[in-house]
Amino acid sequence: MAKLLVLYYSMYGHVETMAEAVAAGARTVEGVTVALKRVPETLPAESARRNGVKLDQAAPVAAPDELAEYDAVIIGAPTRFGNMAAQMRNFLDQTGGLWAKGALVGKVGSVFGSTGTGGGNESTLMSMINTLIHHGMVVVGLPYACPELADCSEAKGGSPWGAATIAG
């Protein structure tokens, strides 16, 4: 049985909703067990409340060393100045021990994200992909052969770099 981790950070709930959809889709694949987890919030509680951060997320918090337990990891985060949010960056920066052991080499990885219009969608996805590649993971994108990418009947995110949404 293959083990998949859908790991995310969500400030306002957009990425949480996407992560739940990714996990639900993966659960339809026979022979795959799926875990849905989030990274810890790093904002001080008062600042988070003042800024309307969604703190009541049901997914359990992951620990960096857990990534080695999975055959595949799909990570999602919102954009912050054209990069992944600092909370996800902080979590991934704690995986140096896994990198030193080659614990993620050959595992499958993918990414998804949420941005505002012109907010750095692809650069955010690339910032997450860079970490997966440094770990030696096999990165899976979203090819243009996917018919949803060619449908221009509504505004939406997504590119060969990964699935995305436009929030705002």
What's the pTM?
0.90
**What domains, with CATH codes, occur in the chain?**
2-166 (3.40.50.360)
Measured CA to CA, the distance from residue 68 to residue 141 in angstroms comes to 21
- Output the pLDDT for position 168: 62
CA 134/CA 105 separation, integer angstroms? 9
- pLDDT for 155 equals 56
Q: Which residues, including other chains, have CB under 8 Å from residue 116's CB and lie 6 or more apart?
A: 79, 166, 167, 168
Average pLDDT over the chain reads 91
Which alpha helices (H) appear in 14-167, and where do they start and end? 14-26, 45-50, 86-93, 96-101, 121-134, 147-150
pLDDT tens for residues 76-100? 999 999 999 999 999 999 999 999 9
What pLDDT is stored for residue 71 in this prediction?
A: 99
Compute the average pLDDT of residues 95-124: 92
